[in-house]
Amino acid sequence: MKDIELQLFIATKEKIMHLKNMARFMGLAGILLVTTSCIKYHDVVRSEFPQGTKRESIADVATAYRRMATVYDEFQTKGVFNALWLSDVVRTTYVKLYGDKRGMSAEAQEEMLKRQLEENKHWVALYVLSDIRDKLYTSLTDQTALWSLYLSLDGTHKVAPESIKEVELEPEIQRFFGSSYSFFKGVYLVKFAVNEELAAKIARNEIAEMRLMVNSSYKTCWMSWTPHDTKPKKAFEDEDFYWG
């Protein structure tokens, strides 16, 4: 009987010691949590892992001139399209990004900008990303492609593309697309020939609506730009990383 009582006493004592140790551990963990939370993690990260200096955000310009269209067949996604209109504002922002990155002088950037803006006197140019969910996918450059493109101005004037080329996006243009850009998407530079008078109207925002029409034999969709929604809007600095 005494042996049983002794065993119970020892077991009880061990359990009490275990609980005390757990209490000490929890108390220490709480103290560490409180004290370490007083140190901002980003202060430690910046000191131990230098982040470099962030360049000025271009999110306001990008969101003003970038568009997206998704086509569904009931609940099934058939295609996702993103487009960036290379307007005067976009080209100006691109030249600054390009020149600052490479250390170009102000004179060199000015000459480059002149050439870029001259392009817009003869062409409406857009970068187009495509994610086409089709078993028989063919490039948009192919005459037998499932989807075709054309430009609609004010709903009355239609312009067929002069050229559609598969290209690789420069890092500066990738930044305009943000997270919409993916290595898995087709990338195209699409150019529409316009006369100087029409180009001047577009530049002066005298065209009420410009649509990039995306058509198949079964579906149609479009991405549109109007003078109202192409005014750059203030955007969050970190939006470069989270655009849809």
Q: Are residues 197 and 111 in the same domain?
A: yes
Specify the pLDDT at position 118: 95
Q: Are residues 27 and 73 in the same domain?
A: no
Report field, pTM of the whole predicted structure over 0.85: no
Q: Are residues 74 and 119 in the same domain?
A: yes
Q: Which domain holds residue 15?
A: 2-48
Domain count of the chain?
2
Confidence of residue 205 (pLDDT cuts 50, 70, 90): confident
Q: Which of 226, 230, 229, 232 is nearest to 206 (CA)?
A: 226
Confidence of residue 200 (pLDDT cuts 50, 70, 90): confident
Q: Are residues 110 and 221 in the same domain?
A: yes
Phi, psi angle pair for 126, to nearest 5°: -140, 140
pLDDT digits (tens, 9 = 90+) for 45-62: 666 777 778 888 999 999
Q: Are residues 113 and 91 in the same domain?
A: yes
Q: Are residues 31 and 120 in the same domain?
A: no
pLDDT digits (tens, 9 = 90+) for 11-26: 566 666 666 667 676 7
Q: Are residues 122 and 67 in the same domain?
A: yes
Q: Are residues 91 and 175 in the same domain?
A: yes
